[in-house]
Amino acid sequence: MNQQMFQQQQAERRRELSNAAERLVQRLLGCWQHELSRPFTYEQRTYRVCLKCGLSRDFNPITWKTHGPSYSLAASSVSCN
């Protein structure tokens, strides 16, 4: 019983460290995932959002291409209305 609990705790710690490491790499290097939302335009800025990590990338509606580094949207910059 104790061995099983120990293994579960170890697995949970590994998951937490893996998630923390992934978030750190995303902040340093940006998002490398390619599951992006449809383009959104807000206050004359068009962007797409990664469906997995939530980071945003700019989008050019004329060329229909995503470009630039990944960034996190500030909570106050998006309105839910």
**Are the beta carbons of 31 and 73 closer than 8 angstroms?**
no
Whether 77 shows a pLDDT value over 80: the answer reads no
Tens of pLDDT, residues 30-70 = 666 678 999 999 999 999 998 888 888 899 999 999 988 77
The pair of structure tokens assigned to 65 is 């291409």
Neighbours of 49 (CB within 10 A): 21
Beta bridge partners of 17: none
Question: Running DSSP on this structure, what letter comes out for residue 72?
Answer: P
